[in-house]
């Protein structure tokens, strides 16, 4: 299988290569693309070095699958050119997520919707992926009526510039700012760009992408995104109102049995998910499951995952694996 990774030197691209190697993905030829100034430099993969090549060279080699993680502008500019060359594109940016003719895929939930005709497949936003996976079986069995989301998102979701900002602040150094304020020892209720209604683009993604993945626009959803000085992963406090009554013990069992989810929920022993311990893991971790007594059929839960792994790289590689296993490429 000929595989291209677009944005191979970035934070997500680096993780894509790690997951491909860890999962022993069947690669016959690996093509690595980064910035033009990186062409000719080498990256190690599978025991050998691979030279970074240009986008044009990669298109001409017609990879079977191209995994894009180089930002929306690059995806818009080049994804369709790969498709014209016969390539199936898995895109990590927001460029195609809400296109009516593009599928938004979390493999454990809706990979079965994919066909050979799906040539550009969208990877959801990192915070959406972990949330919908944690909620997917609950929604199937009880129906979600309303969802109130508060996220506590790692600076790695912003990128290397944000990581450098925090490192500079901790070392009392001046440098380029990724955020309008200091991030170390601080929390910024500001994820993405502010819209006219006061919500941010990251908050709107959580609403729209959840509706699309669950194929259910009836769910009432509101979100607040907060950037925190953490590098290991995103955390989410979810307040869920279901259509049908439930027992908390049944919810715990449903969550524990959900593919790709690990239940960590034993308050008596101080067991609950934390981003410090999810870094580098491919699973979604869920804990603090308890009834919300303020509303009928109310539920609270805490969801944590490595945003560079399941929130981006792992999900993309899982899509590629599904395509190969089901002979869709």
Question: 302 and 251 share a domain?
Answer: yes
187 is catalytic: no
Distance CA 236, CA 152 (A): 6
Question: 147 and 182 share a domain?
Answer: yes
The CATH number given to whatever domain includes residue 140 is: 3.30.360.10
Convert the pLDDT of each residue in 278-292 to its tens digit.
999 999 999 999 999
Question: 105 and 133 share a domain?
Answer: no
Question: 157 and 241 share a domain?
Answer: yes
Question: 44 and 192 share a domain?
Answer: no
Distance CA 227, CA 189 (A): 6
Question: 66 and 196 share a domain?
Answer: no
Residue holding tokens 């693309």? 33
234 is catalytic: yes
Distance CA 211, CA 73 (A): 25
Distances (CA, A) of 280 to 16, 249, 284, 305: 12, 29, 11, 9
| pLDDT < 50 stretches in the chain | none
Q: Domain of residue 23: give its range.
A: 2-123+312-325
pLDDT value of position 193: 95
Task: Determine the angle formed by the axes of helices 314-325 and 11-22, rounding to 10 degrees.
Answer: 40
Distance CA 46, CA 227 (A): 35
Q: Which of 64, 126, 190, 211 is catalytic?
A: 126
pLDDT value of position 250: 98
Question: 137 and 65 share a domain?
Answer: no
Question: 79 and 154 share a domain?
Answer: no
pLDDT value of position 26: 96
| pTM greater than 0.85 (yes/no) | yes
Q: Which of 50, 64, 139, 234 is catalytic?
A: 234
Structure tokens at 328: 């869709």
Question: 24 and 80 share a domain?
Answer: yes
What is the count of structural domains for the chain? Answer: 2
pLDDT value of position 74: 96
Residue 313 — left, alpha, or beta (φ > 0 → left; ψ -120 to 50 → alpha)?
Answer: alpha
Distance CA 301, CA 254 (A): 13
Q: Do residues 151 and 225 make contact, with C-beta atoms less than 8 angstroms apart?
A: yes
Question: 119 and 131 share a domain?
Answer: no
Question: 198 and 266 share a domain?
Answer: yes
């Amino acid at each position: 299988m000929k595989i291209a990774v677009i944005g191979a030197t970035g934070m997500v691209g680096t993780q894509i290569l790690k997951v491909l190697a860890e999962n022993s993905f069947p690669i016959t030829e690996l093509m690595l693309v980064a910035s033009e100034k990186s062409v000719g430099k080498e990256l190690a993969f599978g025991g050998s070095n691979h030279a970074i090549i240009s986008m044009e060279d990669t298109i001409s080699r017609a990879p079977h699958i191209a995994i894009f993680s180089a930002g929306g502008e690059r995806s818009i500019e080049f994804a369709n050119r790969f498709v014209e060359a016969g390539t199936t594109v898995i895109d990590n940016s927001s460029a195609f997520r809400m296109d009516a003719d593009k599928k938004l895929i979390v493999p454990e939930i809706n990979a079965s919707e994919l066909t050979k005709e799906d040539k550009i497949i969208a990877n959801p936003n990192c915070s959406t992926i972990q949330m919908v996976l944690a909620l997917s079986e609950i929604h199937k069995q009880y129906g979600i009526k309303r969802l109130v989301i508060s996220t506590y998102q790692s600076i790695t979701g912003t990128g290397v510039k944000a990581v450098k900002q925090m490192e500079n602040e901790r070392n009392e150094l001046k440098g380029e700012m990724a955020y309008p304020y200091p991030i170390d020892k601080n929390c910024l209720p500001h994820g993405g760009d502010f819209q006219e209604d006061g919500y941010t683009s990251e908050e709107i993604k959580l609403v729209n992408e959840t509706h699309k993945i669950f194929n259910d626009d009836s769910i009432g959803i509101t979100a607040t995104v907060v950037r925190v000085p953490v590098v290991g992963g995103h955390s989410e406090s979810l307040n869920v109102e279901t259509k049908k009554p439930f027992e908390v013990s049944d919810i715990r069992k449903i969550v524990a049995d959900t593919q790709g989810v690990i239940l960590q929920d034993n308050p008596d022993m101080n067991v609950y998910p934390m981003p410090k311990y999810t870094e580098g893991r491919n699973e979604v971790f869920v804990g603090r499951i308890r009834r919300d007594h303020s509303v009928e059929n109310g539920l609270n839960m805490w969801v944590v995952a490595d945003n560079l792994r399941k929130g981006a790289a792992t999900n993309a590689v899982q899509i590629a694996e599904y395509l190969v296993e089901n002979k869709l490429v």
